[in-house]
Amino acid sequence: MADADSSEPEQQLNPKQKIEIAKWFLLNSPAGEIQYISKDLKTILKDDNVHNLAALEAFPQYNKSHMICLEFPDRSSDVIISSFSEVSDNEYLDPRTAQVAIVDHVKQVCTEARPASDEELPSSYIEEFRCALDAEIMKYASEAYPKGISAVYCVKGNDVEEPGSDFELVVLISAARLSPNNFCNGSWRSIWNIEFNDEDQSVEIKGKLLVGAHYFEEGNVQLDASHECKDSTLLQNPDDSALAITNIIRQQESEYLAALEASYLKLPDTTFKDLRRKLPVTRTLFPWHSTMQFSLTRDIAKELTIRK
């Protein structure tokens, strides 16, 4: 029988395993916090090669999934980093200004820009619909989301020249509120696939809404919520179609935000309540009817006889 005090030597992770673990932490960083986590990982790993390889793989995925917004070097506009705007590994299209941003994913900056080619831009017929929708969405996003950025891309039928063919646009809305000094960060992302069907003269609208929040003052509380929805409207001229689509997006997003707010108000009676024992070890039921009167920090300090 082996000696009880003896222990097997710890198995060392190989570089590939370290890279995968580092990537996991980077990819799961809350909104606006990947740079902080990257810095901490570099200190923990003590291996610049492993850290750099993990960063080169994780940052592009993170930037696209979080739809981060980067400013052009001349500050003329912003570009949303996403799979829909991606022209190549480090190039992203801004159809509003017909520019392509060349980005450094790890530094999260736009290093330079170039004019978009004709092949990277939609036909004049599609551009009428895209531009009209872009104008309405930009107006809505600026009203609904402080510092929100929006963009509209053509992802199908880029070369359609006249009525008679189907095409698809994608609306992206990205907004982030980053306040690390106040221990909280949050983001809103919405992706709307707009399918224009010529045969039945309809527009199918499918949305995916993503909300992330992180509060870390004296704790670590995170929220990751998502919601999918769909609707439809009639295919009309570019201006009328843009207005109808934007109204649907406004309604769906407003309803989801209202539902989120309502769920927060119910937290004391649902989620928080489920986290406690039905009957605590003190054998005294928790007074859920007056939870707002309690300060968790004060009560814990009192129980532990800690005096500040």
Distance CA 219, CA 198 (A): 53
Q: In the structure encoding, which two tokens stand for residue 146, read together?
A: 């402080």
Taken in order of first residue, the domains within the chain and their CATH numbers are: 15-115 (3.30.1140.60), 122-265 (3.90.1150.210), 274-303 (no CATH)
Phi and psi at residue 93, to the nearest 5°: -85, 135
The tens-digit pLDDT sequence of the chain (308 residues) is 455 555 555 678 899 999 999 999 999 999 999 999 999 999 999 999 999 999 999 999 999 999 999 999 998 899 999 999 999 989 999 999 999 999 999 999 999 999 999 999 999 999 999 999 999 999 999 999 988 999 999 999 999 999 999 999 999 999 999 998 888 999 999 999 999 999 999 999 999 999 999 988 878 888 899 999 999 999 999 999 999 999 999 999 999 999 988 887 776 666 666 655 555 666 666 565 555 455 554 554 555 554 44
pTM: 0.83
Q: DSSP secondary structure string, 277-292?
A: -SS-TTS----GGGGG
**Residue 120 structure tokens:** 């990277």
Q: Are 79 and 69 in contact (CB under 8 A)?
A: yes
- What end-to-end distance do the CA atoms of the chain give, in Å? 52
